[in-house]
């Protein structure tokens, strides 16, 4: 119970101990005590005069003279750059896939309306162009945004005018996506930028290039290619694995692969082959964000979030796990060897020793996906050990997007954010909160996500969620409309009842945090809540974050004006100046700031206090049901 709040995880963890199989939790214990220099951000190894450590009373500077402030800021900025690179490289691949879709390939433009909307934002003239011609131009324009050398990132101009002006004044309006990442790496190499504030500003510029660039391109073009999500029902947790079917688990991030696996699993020939092997059918289930992608668009069940990846294999029921990029534990290949599970890597960017590698080439996407599914079918008959699937499974509603989610609040025939803004203005809702991010064995799995969400909805705050946080809330049943009657405050309850939505709304994968940026911008444009994102009674949190991508996300939210609470602190504790800058001073510059709080209830109250301050600044009445 200390390791996970999820009963399915608790059961498999008990089993893992009986079997003598280790998990991330065991490896975390083996790592303890973790390096204090690393934790505090006081270790530098950017040049060969080092590695250097700042030791109080002994060494206040590295060999080159870099201080604790410089070293901690450089390390942090590099985390932002790596996170932004991961999201943005994903975005680049989606843009290349859209280019492919404009030619003859297995991909199609599924949402031509969205294609036209994105074209407009990019300044592409859509008049008189058919979908394929326009898709080509949009894809090329997006690819151009990665290598843009001068000027401003087109999609960042979607932000409210006041926000863009602020970025311009601060000199952090993002230029090309790749350029900002490269500049962080340049500035943080030996003997370049030594001013922690200046380093953080470039870090924010790079993060903005992710949120309003790479990630936004990924989300928008995925919607164009695979369809903009709309609400649907689905199921979640390890209980979605089917002992009688071929179980194929997709894990990673890019729907270019998982969409094709879903398609392949519906192929009549392959279904026949599966039945010939004695299976009931082919069951696709997801882990991490690629799971969120196919959940949002097809209602494909989710087996679990980040810390569930090893647990899924340990059920003995996974015939094949296919992975692409990001958040895939290298430990999986060794673990899979002890079961009958085949682990298949597919990206040239992410190979794992011991795994089968089948390169996923977008040019023959469906063919490769079929090959992988066929491998899973073959492996079904090689099941040799005991199967134990915990019976935990939960219903949920997912599939909300910036276009659809708040429009529901306007009723079926009023496509507007007005009712959402009005609900906040009249105090029925206090505000909105985003809960995003990962699992981390340092924190009881899902506990912080779920408790924070419960505390916020109890206080009439509408919660939007993405990534592994969304899966955590789903497993706990918070993504069901009926939960509003049990757990939400009266104001939020009234809204959920009127519209039929859950009090916690699933907005998608990690790159889909860009949907939250768009939703906040739409709220500003709707009027009545100030001229900038920073004026809105809203807050964000990543209570169980672990990935560098979460650092980039947190920074683009703060740089966009959102107060953001993190469960684990950034590794910067060794620099008082940097900590003060990020948790206090930065607010004057960008309107957002950070707080670090491990206790999810206390963290939720920090968010509530912030929301209240924003309500007062807007001179809104006291909450209706205080």
Q: Interface residues with ligand SF4 (CB under 6 A)?
A: 44-47, 49-52, 62-64, 66, 71, 190
Choose which of 160, 174, 213, 467 interacts with ligand MSK (CB under 6 A).
467
What value, to the nearest 5°, has the Cα angle with vertex 147 and ends 141 and 148?
Answer: 75
What is the nearest approach in angstroms of ligand MSK to the Cβ of residue 288? 4
Q: How far is the CB of 586 from ligand SF4 (least distance, A)?
A: 24
**CB contact at 8 A, 611 and 537:** yes
The full 3-state SS of 84-140, as one line of letters, equals HHHHHHHHHHHHHHHHHHCCCCCCCCCCHHHHHHHHHHHCCCCCCCCHHHHHHHHHH
Pairing of strands 282-287, 461-466: unpaired
Q: Which residues contact 169 (CB under 8 A, 6 or more apart)?
A: none
Does 24 bind ligand MSK (CB under 6 A)? Our answer is no
Kindly state whether residue 306 participates in binding ligand MSK, applying the rule CB under 6 A: yes
Q: Which is nearer to ligand MSK, 509 or 560 (CB)?
A: 509
Q: Does residue number 541 form part of the binding site for ligand MSK (CB under 6 A)?
A: no
Q: 133-153 b/e with 16+ CB inside 10 Å = b?
A: ebbbbbbebbbebbebeeeeb
Cα–Cα nearest to 620, from 514, 518, 528 = 528
Which of the listed partners (ligand MSK, ligand SF4, none) does 45 bind, with a CB threshold of 5 to 8 Å by partner kind?
ligand SF4
Pairing of strands 461-466, 504-508: parallel
Question: For residues 483 and 510, which CB has a smaller minimum distance to ligand MSK in the complex?
Answer: 510
Partner whose footprint covers residue 289, from ligand MSK, ligand SF4, none (CB < 5 to 8 Å by kind): ligand MSK
Selected range binding ligand MSK among 241-249, 375-383, 544-552, 617-625, rule: CB under 6 A? 544-552
Beta bridge partners of 320: 248, 342
If residue 231 lies in a helix (H) or strand (E), which one and from where to where?
none
Residue 534 DSSP label:
G
**Contact residue for ligand MSK among 289, 329, 604, 608 (CB under 6 A):** 289
Nearest to 437 by CA among 549, 532, 318: 549
The binding track of 492-511 with respect to ligand MSK, each residue x by CB under 6 A or -, is -----------------xx-
Under the binding rule (CB under 6 A), the answer on residue 552 touching ligand MSK is no
Task: Find which of ligand MSK, ligand SF4, none residue 510 binds, CB within 5 to 8 Å per kind.
Answer: ligand MSK
Rule CB under 6 A: say whether 468 interacts with ligand MSK: yes
Nearer to ligand SF4 among residue 196 and residue 306 (C-beta): 196
Whole-number Å distance between alpha carbons of 564 and 100? 38
If one asks whether residue 483 binds ligand MSK (CB under 6 A), the answer comes out as: no
Contacts of residue 56, defined as CB under 8 A and 6 or more positions apart, other chains included, come to none
Q: Which is nearer to ligand SF4, 71 or 443 (CB)?
A: 71
CA distance 149 to 151: 7
DSSP label of 623? P
Q: Which does 63 bind (CB under 5 to 8 A by kind): ligand SF4, ligand MSK, none?
A: ligand SF4
- Does 549 bind ligand MSK (CB under 6 A)? Our answer is yes
Nearer CB in complex with ligand SF4: 102/575 = 575
Q: Which two tokens stand for residue 446?
A: 């899902």
| CA dist 329 → 26, 308, 574 (Å) | 14, 11, 29
Comparing CB distances to ligand MSK, the nearer of 306 and 594 is 306
d(CA 68, CA 62): 8
190 vs 232 by CB, closer to ligand SF4: 190
Q: How many residues does the chain have?
A: 626
Q: Which residues within the stretch 582-621 sit at the binding site for ligand MSK (CB under 6 A)?
A: none
Q: Which is nearer to ligand SF4, 66 or 142 (CB)?
A: 66
Q: Whole-number minimum distance, CB 70 to ligand SF4, in Å?
A: 8
346 binds, among ligand SF4, ligand MSK, none (CB under 5 to 8 A by kind): none
Which option in ligand MSK, ligand SF4, none does residue 64 bind, with CB closer than 5 to 8 A by kind? ligand SF4
C-alpha to C-alpha distance for 280 and 288, rounded to whole angstroms? 26
Residue 44 interaction partner, one of ligand SF4, ligand MSK, none, beta carbon < 5-8 Å per kind? ligand SF4
DSSP run (H or E) holding 390: none
Element (H, E) at 165: helix 161-170
User: Segment contacting ligand MSK (CB under 6 A): 217-225, 263-271, 542-550, 573-581?
Assistant: 542-550
Contact 443, 567 (CB under 8 A): yes
Q: Which residues pair with 540 in a beta bridge?
A: 434, 564
Tokens encoding 500: 């039929």
C-beta closer to ligand MSK: residue 114 or 549: 549
Tell me the C-alpha distance between 60 and 85, whole Å: 32
H or E segment at 417? Answer: none
CA distance 200 to 139: 31
190 binds, among ligand MSK, ligand SF4, none (CB under 5 to 8 A by kind): ligand SF4
Exposed, middle or buried by CB within 10 Å (0-12, 13-18, 19+), for 573?
middle
Residue (97 or 547) nearer to ligand MSK, CB: 547
Partner that binds at residue 516, options ligand SF4, ligand MSK, none, CB closer than 5 to 8 Å by kind: none
| Residue 327 in the binding site for ligand MSK (CB under 6 A) | yes
Q: Which string of x and - marks every residue 432-451 that binds ligand MSK (by CB under 6 A)?
A: -----xx-------------
Residue 168 binds which entry of ligand SF4, ligand MSK, none, with Cβ cut-offs from 5 to 8 Å by kind? none
Q: Taking CB within 5 to 8 Å according to partner kind, which of ligand MSK, ligand SF4, none is near residue 62? A: ligand SF4
Using alpha carbons, list the distances in angstroms from residue 477 to 132, 234, 398, 481.
41, 12, 12, 9
CB of 566 to ligand MSK, least distance (A): 13
Q: Does residue number 257 form part of the binding site for ligand MSK (CB under 6 A)?
A: no
Residues that bind ligand MSK (CB under 6 A): 253, 288-289, 305-306, 327, 437-438, 467-468, 509-510, 547, 549-550
């Amino acid at each position: 119970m200390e390791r996970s709040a999820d009963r399915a995880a608790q059961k498999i963890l008990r089993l893992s101990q009986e079997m003598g199989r280790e998990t991330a939790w065991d490896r975390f214990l083996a790592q303890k005590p973790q390096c204090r220099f690393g934790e505090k951000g006081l270790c530098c190894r950017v040049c060969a005069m080092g590695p250097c450590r700042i030791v109080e009373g002994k060494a206040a500077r590295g060999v080159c003279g870099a201080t604790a402030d410089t070293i901690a800021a450089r390390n942090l900025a590099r985390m932002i750059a790596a996170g932004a690179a991961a999201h943005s490289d994903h975005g680049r691949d989606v843009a290349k896939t859209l280019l492919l879709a404009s030619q003859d390939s297995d991909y199609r433009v599924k949402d031509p309306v969205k294609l036209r909307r994105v074209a407009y934002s990019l300044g592409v003239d859509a008049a008189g162009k058919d979908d394929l011609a326009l898709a080509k131009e949009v894809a090329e324009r997006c690819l151009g945004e990665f290598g843009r050398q001068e000027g401003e990132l087109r999609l960042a101009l979607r932000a409210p005018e006041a926000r863009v002006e602020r970025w311009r004044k601060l000199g952090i309006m993002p230029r090309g996506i790749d350029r900002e990442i490269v500049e962080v790496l340049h500035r943080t190499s030996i003997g370049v930028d030594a001013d922690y504030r200046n380093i953080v500003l470039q870090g924010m510029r790079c993060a903005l290039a992710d949120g309003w660039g790479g990630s936004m391109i990924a989300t928008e073009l995925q919607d164009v290619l695979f369809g903009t999500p709309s609400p649907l029902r689905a199921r979640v947790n390890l209980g979605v694995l089917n002992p009688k079917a071929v179980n194929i688990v997709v894990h990673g991030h890019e729907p270019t692969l998982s969409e094709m696996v879903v398609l392949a699993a519906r192929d009549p020939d392959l279904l026949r082959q599966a039945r010939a092997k004695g299976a009931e059918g082919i069951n696709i289930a997801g882990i991490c964000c690629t799971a969120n992608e196919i959940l949002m668009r097809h209602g494909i069940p989710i087996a679990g979030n980040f810390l569930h990846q090893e647990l899924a294999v340990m059920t003995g029921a996974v015939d094949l796990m296919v992975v692409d990029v990001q958040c895939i534990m290298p430990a999986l290949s060794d673990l899979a060897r002890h079961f009958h599970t085949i682990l298949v890597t597919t990206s040239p960017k992410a190979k794992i020793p011991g795994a089968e590698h089948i390169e996923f080439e977008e040019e023959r996407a469906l063919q490769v996906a079929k090959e992988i599914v066929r491998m899973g079918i073959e492996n079904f008959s090689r099941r040799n050990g005991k199967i134990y699937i915990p019976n935990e499974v939960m219903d949920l509603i997912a599939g909300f997007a910036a276009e659809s989610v708040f429009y529901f609040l306007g009723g079926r025939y009023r496509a507007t954010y007005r009712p959402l803004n009005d609900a906040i203005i009249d105090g029925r809702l206090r505000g909105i909160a985003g809960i995003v991010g990962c699992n981390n064995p340092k924190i009881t799995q899902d506990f912080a996500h779920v408790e924070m969400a419960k505390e916020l909805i109890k206080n009439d705050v509408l919660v939007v969620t993405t990534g592994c946080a969304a899966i955590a809330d789903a497993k706990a049943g918070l993504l069901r409309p009926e939960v509003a009657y049990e757990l939400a405050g009266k104001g939020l309850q009234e809204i959920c009842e009127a519209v039929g939505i859950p009090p916690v709304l699933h907005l998608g994968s990690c790159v889909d945090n860009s949907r939250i940026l768009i939703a906040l911008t739409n709220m500003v444009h709707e009027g009545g809540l100030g001229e900038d994102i920073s004026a809105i009674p809203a807050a964000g949190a990543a209570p169980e974050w672990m990935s560098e991508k979460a650092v980039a996300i947190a920074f683009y939210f703060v740089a966009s004006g959102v107060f953001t609470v993190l469960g684990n602190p950034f590794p910067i504790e060794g620099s008082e100046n940097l900590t003060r800058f990020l948790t206090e001073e930065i607010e004057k510059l960008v309107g957002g700031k950070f707080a670090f709080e491990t206790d999810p209830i206390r963290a939720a109250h920090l968010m509530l206090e912030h929301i209240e301050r924003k309500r007062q600044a807007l001179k809104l009445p006291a909450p209706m049901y205080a």
